[in-house]
Structure 1
């Protein structure tokens, strides 16, 4: 039988305090999650936005709160550009040269969309039969990080369309599979 090392009393006391802080933080985070979910259920725009795959309660409420009037953008591309999810253009002489994403605009919203798209990619790798066929095709052509930003761009355009038109998200491939 192995002998357990003696732990000093001061170390035990400090570890107890740290464990208490971790548990307290966990309880507070759960309360914040519950309040965000309640807000998402009561806000009509956030409820519609949460129907988009990859957008959860945090993203839906953040987008609904940040974009008061989607009519200020002429198109979904303009909205995605406002978020910094469109490539910079260095075009000259009729040649289109697209660069990296501009990263202009709201960093937090852009990060929420990219993280949501990354979760869709992770799910598509484990269950490709349930994923959007466009995403599977994109992953076959591009690296995962590039695909996640491209999907975030697509999600931003869908967000704008849902906010501007007052509709809910309906997946095209799910409807075609049901038919």
Structure 2
């Protein structure tokens, strides 16, 4: 019988494949090596292929789509409930095959090569920022052991530490001064790497019309806009702006039962990096709004009722919905836009 749905358990070298026909009956169980994957699916009639959204998933999705197959990527947490027994490659492939056929399953958008390249810049930059922060904290910690306290911030270290190394009145030994100079040079190198990657991201942002369109939204800068464009892909894969906000983890987590709705803090699902960028952008908008003489509008009313952290998340949620509307309906941002229902 014809195979209609296939589940693939991705790996580095050994791939488990599970296929079913139109009646849901298992007709294929196979283990493939990496060099056998392309040949096998090139000879397989076009069908629905499901994979977990893990390492190399987008590469294989693009490759199989080029062969005519319909590929769907699923978040691993949505596949786990369909694993019937102990975990192994064959059971995982069967669970993926079962999950991808569910009518209400949520899928991860497939990224193209350019989107993956831009996100790689963001990930590497984020790693350098973490390493820079760790290096700065190490320098401050070592100096504090000798009774020298430097304020937090890379700028304070760059300004104060060279003076401390040259100061002959303190108790620092020659070997320790050389060690701090070595760490400071490493810190400067990390800072240079971060700036260079930011320049590459901004260059891509300026060359992409969609990213420039999103940057017109208050609280969305080049970093946030480029990361959103590369991560979201086709915004029409989300039914609404609220679904996009939920995908980013900006909506309340529920613990409801018996008809009683209990809303907790935000779910924090999805990409932590995107959510952090949106919330930090919202905080910058709030700082600008507080300095304005004219205190009116939705944000000012929200700040009167809720604390700053709640307001920042609410504004980030609103921006996520605006972004979905701009991308899904191919619109330009208008600060004075008023919905038709509100105007009526």
> Is the pair's TM-score, using the shorter chain for normalization, greater than 0.5?
yes
Gap change, CA 1:79 and 1:91, over 3 Å in 2: farther
Q: Going by fraction, where is helix more abundant, 1 or 2?
A: 1
User: Max radius of gyration: which structure?
Assistant: 2
User: Distance between the aligned counterparts of 2:199 and 2:296, measured in 1?
Assistant: 29
Q: Give the whole-Å Cα distance in 2 for the aligned partners of 1:104 and 1:5.
A: 50
The total of aligned residue pairs comes to 169
Match of 2:217 in 1: 52
The CA distance in 2 between the partners of 1:105 and 1:132, in whole Å, is 33
Match of 1:161 in 2: 325
The residue aligned with 1:24 is 189
Distance 1:139 1:150 in 2: 10
Q: Which runs of 5+ in 2 are unaligned?
A: 1-167, 338-344
The equivalent residue for 2:270 is 105
Structure 1 gap segments, 5+ residues each = 174-179
TM-score under structure 2 normalisation? 0.46
151, 154, 157: which is aligned to 2:315? Answer: 151
Measure the CA separation in 1 of the matches of 2:193 and 2:263.
Answer: 44
Equivalent residue, structure 2, for 1:74:
239
CA RMSD of aligned residues (A): 2.1
State the distance in 2 between where 1:8 and 1:81 align: 55
Equivalences for residues 76-95 of structure 1 within 5 A: 76-89=241-254, 90=256, 92-93=258-259
Higher relative contact order (CA 8 A, sep 6+): 1
CA-CA distance at 1:4 after TM superposition: 2.0
Q: Please state which structure has a larger fraction of its residues in strand.
A: 2
Which of 174, 184, 202 aligns to 1:37? It is: 202
Alpha-carbon distance change, 25 to 149 in structure 1, aligned in 2, over 3 angstroms? same
1:134 maps to which residue? 298
Task: Report SS of the residue matched to 2:244.
Answer: helix
